[in-house]
C-alpha cells in the first residue's frame, strides 16, 4: 500500500553531537576528516562539504561521558564521492591521527577512527551499484574483508579537504534490542532490511546498502545518555512522504513531536531521529 515504505530518494541529513570541547572536536573533523566549518555560534559549530551542512557540534562542558552500557552512536559514516577522496582521507588520518580499521565491505571501502571524545567515525566510498550483488532473499551482499590499502593510497589526489558532494551516507547505532530496532526502523518508520549480520541489521530506504545500521555487539543494556549522539536526521523528498512516515510512527505508538522545520521522534533506546523534507 502506498506510504508504507520510505521513498528511495530518502537520505541521511545532518548528525548532531553533544561534545565537551567543540574546538578540539571541530578541529578533528576539519583537519582529519576534511570537512569545512560553515557556521559558528556561542556554543555550536556546523561543518559540511562547503555547501551542505552535515555535522552539528553543540558544546556542553558538563555533559557526562556516555556510560559504557548505554545505547548510542557506533559511528557516523562520512561518504566521499570517489576513491581519490578516500585516499586523501587515509593520508590525513595516517599523518595526523590514528587509523583504527580499514575494510572492504564489497559495496564500499571504509576507513575507521575515533574523534577526540571517542565518537566512532567511518569515512567511505561506495563502489558503483553495478558491482553490488544481491543475496538470495533480495537483500544486498556485504562482508568485512581486508581493504586494498596500497590501492587506496595510490588513488589519493593530494587534497586537504573533502570535496563538494561529500555527505553522511549512514549512521550506525548501538542498541539494546534488534527486535525493538526492527520494530521502529523497519515496521513503523518504513525502512527495508537490506542485510543481516550476526548481532546486526542494516536498513535503508529503497535499495541502498544501508542508511541506518544497528548492532548489539557490545551488549548495551541502558537507554542512550551522556555526550555523543544528540540526534540524526533523515531527509524525505516531499511533505507527503514525511506525513506518511509521521503517521506510521504515531500509529505504532511512538510520540512524534514538532521540531523546527520537521518532526522528531525517539526510538526505544531514546535515540532521537528527526524527519524533514
The secondary structure of 174-242, three-state, reads ECCCHHHHHHHHHHHCCCEEEEEECCEEEEECCCCCCCEEEECCCCCCECCCCCEEEEEEEECCCHHHH
What are 10-42's pLDDT values in tens digits? 999 999 999 999 999 999 999 999 999 999 999
Statement: residue 131 has pLDDT above 60: yes
pLDDT at 12: 98
* Residue 105 domain flag: yes
* Residue 6 domain flag: no
Statement: residue 2 has pLDDT above 70: no
Range of the domain at 121: 11-276
Cβ pair 155, 87 in contact under 8 A: yes
Cβ pair 3, 244 in contact under 8 A: yes
Instruction: Using a pLDDT cut of 90, give the percent of the chain over it.
Output: 96
- Structure confidence at residue 3 as a pLDDT band (50, 70, 90): low
Place of cell 557526562: 64
What are 206-223's pLDDT values in tens digits? 999 999 999 999 999 999
Cβ pair 6, 245 in contact under 8 A: yes
What are 83-122's pLDDT values in tens digits? 999 999 999 999 999 999 999 999 999 999 999 999 999 9
What is the rounded CA–CA span in Å between residue 56 and residue 241?
A: 25
Instruction: Using a pLDDT cut of 70, give the percent of the chain over it.
Output: 99
Nearest to residue 30, comparing CAs of 161, 158, 188? 161
Statement: residue 1 has pLDDT above 70: no
* Residue 220 domain flag: yes
Statement: residue 128 has pLDDT above 80: yes
Q: How many domains does the chain have?
A: 1
CATH code where residue 245 lies: 3.10.180.10
What are 42-87's pLDDT values in tens digits? 999 999 999 999 999 999 999 999 999 999 999 999 999 999 999 9
Amino acid at each position: 500500500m502506498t506510504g508504507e515504505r520510505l521513498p528511495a530518494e530518502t537520505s541521511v541529513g545532518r548528525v548532531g553531537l553533544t561534545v565537551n570541547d567543540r574546538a578540539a572536536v571541530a578541529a578533528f573533523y576539519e583537519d582529519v576528516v576534511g570537512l569545512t566549518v560553515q557556521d559558528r555560534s556561542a556554543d555550536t559549530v556546523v561543518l559540511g562539504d562547503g555547501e551542505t551542512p552535515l555535522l552539528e557540534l553543540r558544546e556542553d562542558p558538563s555533559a557526562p561521558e556516555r556510560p559504557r552500557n548505554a545505547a548510542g552512536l557506533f559511528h557516523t559514516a562520512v561518504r566521499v564521492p570517489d576513491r581519490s577522496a578516500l585516499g586523501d582521507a587515509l593520508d590525513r588520518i595516517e599523518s595526523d591521527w590514528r587509523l583504527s580499521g580499514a575494510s572492504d565491505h564489497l559495496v564500499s571501502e571504509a576507513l575507521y577512527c575515533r574523534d577526540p571524545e571517542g565518537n566512532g567515525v567511518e569515512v567511505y566510498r561506495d563502489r558503483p551499484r553495478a558491482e553490488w550483488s544481491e543475496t538470495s532473499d533480495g537483500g544486498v551482499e556485504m562482508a568485512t574483508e581486508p581493504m586494498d590499502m596500497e590501492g587506496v593510497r595510490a588513488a589519493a589526489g593530494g587534497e586537504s579537504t573533502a570535496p563538494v558532494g561529500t555527505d553522511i551516507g549512514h549512521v550506525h547505532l548501538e542498541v539494546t534490542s534488534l527486535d525493538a530496532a526492527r520494530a521502529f526502523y523497519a515496521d513503523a518508520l518504513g525502512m527495508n532490511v537490506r542485510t543481516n549480520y550476526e548481532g546486526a541489521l542494516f536498513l535503508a530506504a529503497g535499495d541502498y546498502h544501508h542508511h541506518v545500521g544497528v548492532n548489539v555487539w557490545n551488549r548495551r543494556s541502558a537507554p542512550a545518555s551522556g555526550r555523543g549522539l544528540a540526534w540524526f536526521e533523515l531527509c524525505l523528498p516531499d511533505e507527503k512522504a514525511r506525513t506518511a512516515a509521521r503517521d506510521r510512527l504515531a500509529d505504532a505508538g511512538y510520540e512524534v513531536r514538532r521540531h523546527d522545520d520537521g518532526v522528531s521522534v525517539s526510538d526505544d533506546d531514546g535515540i532521537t531521529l528527526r524527519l524533514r523534507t
